[in-house]
A and B are shown apart, each in its own frame.
Chain A
Amino acid sequence: MILRRLWEHDLAWSFRRSPVTIVATALTLIWVGAALLAPWVSPQDPFDMASLNLSDAFTPPAWDEKGIGRYPLGTDNQGRDILSTIMHGARISLGVGLAAVLFALVLGVSLGLLAGYLGGRVEAIIMRIADVQLSFPAILIALLIDGVARVALPGDRHDELAIPVLVLAIGFAGWVQYARTVRGSTMVEKSKEYVQAARVIGRRPLAIMLSHVLPNVMGPVLVIATIHIATAIITEATLSFLGVGVPATRPSLGTLIRIGNEFLYSGEWWITLFPGIALVVLVLSVNLLGDWLRDALNPKLR
């Protein structure tokens, strides 16, 4: 019964109608599955030094003459199986991307709610900062925050702090969009009767914001968040490629591409190309999913 209603639902209907979306969802699910289950399903544990065999280094993909069946996509300079490193890398890329989006969402939504609901000086300050930040590209801000934080932190704790710093940097570079959207819809909701009623019966502003306004402004926020995940993954990959992201001991897709890039000229193209393809497929499918969600939730476009 519930399944049937779910099947007949508007979203499900537009989902069935779009083969691209179905493929994108399937790919995204495969990625999430591979990332979550990487420690159990990957053919090799790329971080377990004992299982690495240096004599297997630079093995080309399995279909090449010199390929070995054990390494379907070949191995890198340390003899790590590329397929396994990609699965583990996707885990880090997705993890950092999701955490950064979550951080940006919480920060942006809170500031947007405050600005829209309180108005006045609070609003002026928050929105001015947002305007200024918006005039710089997000990736530059993330790079600057990340770079400054790396230099400011003590050197011996770089590796363990690298991922939290990265999450904060990418998240902080992305809060503006959420704040602007939420502020706009909060200003609309604020003047509606249910908010006035809540105010009349004497609920405190914070309670009104959280329990009445917030649920009604979250719709567009979720759409922004979906598309933002793809951007966050790209940003993470770019920073890692530049060598200021996650450390090489726990490589993400971007780190793998950077490591592989050094061997591009000597002909070992698979070390960098496969993580690259993996990154593109991941980003593209998340992006297509986000596009579909945006169109499906927007009644104007139907």
Chain B
Amino acid sequence: MAAFILRRLGQAVLVMLTVGLIAFALFRFVGDPVIFMLGQDATPEDRVRVTQLLCLDRPFYLQYAAFVNNALHGQFGLSLRQVRPVSTLIVERLPATLELSFMAALFSLAAGIPMGVYTALRRNSWLSHVLLGISLAGVSLPTFLIGILLILFFSVQLGWLPSFGRCDTVQIGWWSTGLLTASGLKALILPSITLGLFQMTLIQRLVRSEMLEVLRTDYIRFARARGLTDRAIHFGHALKNTLVPVMTITGLQLGAIIAFSIITEQVFQWPGMGLLFIQAIGFADVPVMAAYLCLIGLFFVIINLVVDLLYYAVDPRLRIQPI
């Protein structure tokens, strides 16, 4: 047990160090790191101080160590474009991305599970074929195109929903939320659907195939023999057993949702971290890019680590074979 966790932890740290190395290489070799930390108009004394602080006069590995140390403390210097600490920029943008990702995940579950159950129970009804057709479109349409089509239809043609930004937000401490105002919630609808559609089709297909599998098993047949109602069988027995893989997939897909939010944020001009990153590329704002690189790497490493450990907890076979 301990060996397994240590191995996985070691791997996670190694991945983070690699991601950090890429970010550091960007930081060190593209432009001037002293300017990155202090901004354009710094005094010569400050420059000398930062040069020493970053070990820029020392060997490469010490510079890297200093960078990692700073990164661990959340210090990535000043954004070149906005002349503010990168960490504050990220903290400002984080709630927008997380709320969007959360709502997208919620949408994909709330729409995907019922659709999957329905298409499994009524395999040959016309509605099932329509739903499967929708899911095919969800897989083959690129995310940004779905967003554009939704904007074209619901914002431009019908004028029902806002097409960009978060509208009104409420500030709770450092967290700005759009969940508490009507316009904020309305602004969330189209982006969450855009972002969650791919995961929705994934969940729908997963639930459908799992349900079909479970409905064929002996204990379902036995439940029928006992004369239980269809409702009790379908939802009490069958659905419950399909939800375990659904939870795993949703957990794994959370990282993908956060990553794909870059595209959705660009389409809807959603003021989140993804938009920050895309704008940073456009302006060659290296400190912001380095910070985003590390942060997104950290998200993925944590999610994969948690899923690995959960597998280990759930699946006894992993405990016998050394991997």
Give the B-binding residues of A (Cβ under 8 A).
132, 135-137, 139-140, 143-144, 147-148, 150-152, 155, 230, 234, 237-238, 241-244, 257, 261, 264-265, 267, 269, 272-273, 276, 279-280, 283-284, 287
Contacts and interface: CB of A to CB of B under 8 A. Distances in A.
B111 interface: no
Nearest to B279: A243
Closest 5 CB pairs of A and B: A147-B281, A140-B259, A151-B284, A241-B144, A234-B142
A147 B296 contact: no
A14 to B, nearest CB: 21
Contact of B296 (A140, A261, A267, A287): A140
B145 A279 contact: yes
Describe A's contact surface by its main secondary structure. helix
B142 A279 contact: yes
B125 interface: no
Q: Bin the interface of chain B by size.
A: 35 or more
B250 to A, nearest CB: 15
B266 A287 contact: no
Interface in B1-44: 11, 15, 18, 22, 26, 29-30
Describe B's contact surface by its main secondary structure. helix
Interface of B: 11, 15, 18, 22, 26, 29-30, 140-145, 148-149, 151-152, 155-156, 163, 255-256, 259-260, 262-263, 266-267, 277-278, 281-282, 284, 286, 289, 293, 296, 300, 304
B21 to A, nearest CB: 12
Contact of A237 (B22, B30, B142, B262): B142
B29 to A, nearest CB: 7
Contacts of A280: 140-142, 145
Nearest to B281: A147
B15 A265 contact: no
A88 B15 CA distance: 41
A282 to B, nearest CB: 11
Contacts of B11: 132
Nearest to A132: B15
Contacts of A243: 266, 278, 282
Contacts of A257: 144-145, 148
